[in-house]
Structure 1
């Protein structure tokens, strides 16, 4: 796999004896700060906002009625 430009630059800086910018990163960078909750009853009810949109199989529950003229 190819190395990114930023990684090449960091490796070059360390080879030259300078400080690697990755070492200055905060430890909070690697923590997952998102809170995960399960869906409530309302979230499940409002999940399908538009009920008659086209589905992948083509069966969306709608029909077309054409009258003879």
Structure 2
């Protein structure tokens, strides 16, 4: 991978005995300062808003449709 111009300049400064600017960086540069919170009830509800999950009662929105059509003595059965 290629080196950036800034990295080349820093390496040149250290070779010449000068101070590397990386040494001046704060120790907090590499820390993750974001605050993480647990999901609220609203966030949890919106997460499952449009997904078809099975409920504990078994009513998951699916159905079974059987169509029975009789012509004369023959019976035709279609299931979807």
- TM-score category, normalised to shorter length: 0.5 to 0.7
Structure 1 ranges of 4+ moved more than 6 A: none
TM-score (norm 2): 0.51
Unpaired segments of 5 or more residues in structure 1? 52-69
Q: How many residues align?
A: 50
Instruction: Name whichever structure is richer in strand by fraction.
Output: 2
Q: Residue 4 of structure 1: CA displacement?
A: 1.1
Root mean square deviation of aligned Cα: 2.1
Alignment of 1:16-35 (within 5 A): 16-35=16-35
Unpaired segments of 5 or more residues in structure 2? 51-80
From the CA coordinates, give the structure whose radius of gyration is larger: 2
